[in-house]
Structure 1
């Protein structure tokens, strides 16, 4: 029995992810939670992974002349979902997505989305709500033709990890959207996981 308990504790230590204390409190009553799932498909299946980090862009509000686009890194990941907790209301897209190393022998990856894909991904976030943008499946290539479709300004961006992962030696890919999976079953699966993550936080009331 003691051995079983020890094994379960170890599994939880390496497999359970807890919401950081800094994200358990709302920075403001108007802020929200944005979540996505991104499947990063690579030419070699070994390097296909689920994203652990995302670089979002909050688009400028066309109705506000003073509004400018903001590049904002994700700040939490759990159960193959990537979150931006304390997200400002607005419209978001994704320009980079990456996956950290799973073990010492693994290699991190970073996918740079091409312009067409960035235009297709639009997620609206209102005040004080939980938004699941869906599951995005990205295909990728390292060929020059694929990189030619990635905006140079985006290629200069660096992926910032919420878990202190070093992406400086990551495999780099130019990526495009293959499909979006957004259905009631997927949303329900996400919600069940999210309820556990945010159960003991100030966000619990909107995770429903």
Structure 2
């Protein structure tokens, strides 16, 4: 990912334009802070219809980190269990309060975990209920873990064959997503999700707001 341009608008917004060489696409990020301390984040992805490489997206959104003291979540969405777009009928829509350390389910092999769907708001808080609230004008998918996404997948220099091999990070990693690809596996464990739960190579736009919880 290469930063192509960085500008500041008259209204105080800052805009970063990034080029993704592998997929020949452009991601524009716009950050706008108002007088109430609310930060609006806009993500605008433009793809090249003539690109040779047109991969599906696993998720569309943003990952950020907060200090480890922010160790609990409150959310209005599908819960209380982890759930995904094609695996959420058994969960109910409601308000839930949970600990970050309980969000990861220790599957035998480390993998994606802890997602919640149809989220109206997602708060990441300290024990004194101070923190940040994330919300949008559309339902989101969110998670908060003590691991980065990259921690959950085996690579050439990693040796975490089992969830017991994972070492929790010294922070809370937060995912705020417009959508995430479904789990699939409707006929075999290797099958992709059906079409409506896929994120194909196309343009996407997502806007959410971050505001302090005092």
TM-score range normalised by the length of the shorter chain:
under 0.3
TM-score (normalizing by structure 1) = 0.25
TM-score (normalizing by structure 2) = 0.24
Which structure shows the higher strand fraction?
2
Which structure shows the higher helix fraction?
1
